[in-house]
């Protein structure tokens, strides 16, 4: 395929999926983002087991960290306007402070990206040292934006 044509198709896909998401049912949007959070949590807990030496699967550190990083990148689009009512623990203040909320999501993207590159460099010990910072970044956001 000509590069120009693939760029056009790529842009159309992005535009289409963006508009499709904004028309999604808000209950589904809420369920979907809670699934993202649960997946983030599962990768995070798995990395803690690996780094504590309780699970010996050296080749699985990387996909767990990549999973965490990929999911964290989805956070800013997971909280569209009009998804603040229904069965959610998301606080109203997210939409009043979207820039700060996105900054807190970005902190997790950066930290999990750092985990990925440390693992790629075989620096498992530094990964273990960084995990408490990852936990702290979850708490920093939950403290302000998630109902207890």
Return d(Cα 4, Cα 1) in angstroms, integer.
Answer: 8
Among positions 34, 70, 124, 126, the unique one binding ligand HEC when judged by CB under 6 A: 34
Check binding of 141 to ligand HEC (CB under 6 A). yes
CA nearest 78: which of 38, 133, 114, 136?
38
Return d(Cα 83, Cα 26) in angstroms, integer.
Answer: 5
Among positions 50, 65, 108, 127, the unique one binding ligand HEC when judged by CB under 6 A: 108
Among positions 24, 89, 122, 129, the unique one binding ligand HEC when judged by CB under 6 A: 89
Sign of CA dihedral 19, 20, 23, 27: negative
CA nearest 141: which of 100, 111, 109?
100
Least distance between ligand HEC and beta carbon 101 (Å): 6
Please report, as ranges, the residues that interact with ligand HEC according to CB under 6 A: 30, 33-34, 37-38, 40-41, 44, 75, 88-90, 101, 104-105, 108, 134, 137-138, 141-142, 145-146
């Amino acid at each position: 395929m000509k590069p120009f044509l693939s760029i056009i198709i790529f842009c159309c896909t992005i535009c289409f999926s963006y508009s499709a998401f904004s028309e999604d049912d808000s209950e589904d949007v809420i369920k979907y983002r809670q699934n993202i959070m649960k997946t983030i949590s599962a990768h995070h807990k798995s990395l803690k087991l690996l780094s504590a030496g309780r699970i010996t699967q050296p080749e699985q550190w990387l996909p767990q960290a990549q999973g965490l990083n990929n999911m964290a990148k989805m956070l800013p689009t997971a909280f569209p306007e009009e998804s603040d009512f229904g069965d959610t623990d998301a606080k109203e203040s997210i939409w009043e402070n979207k820039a700060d909320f996105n900054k807190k999501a970005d902190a997790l993207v950066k930290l999990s990206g750092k985990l990925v590159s440390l693992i790629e460099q075989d620096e498992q010990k530094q990964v273990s040292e960084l995990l408490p910072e990852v936990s702290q970044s979850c708490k920093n956001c939950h403290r302000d934006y998630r109902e207890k």
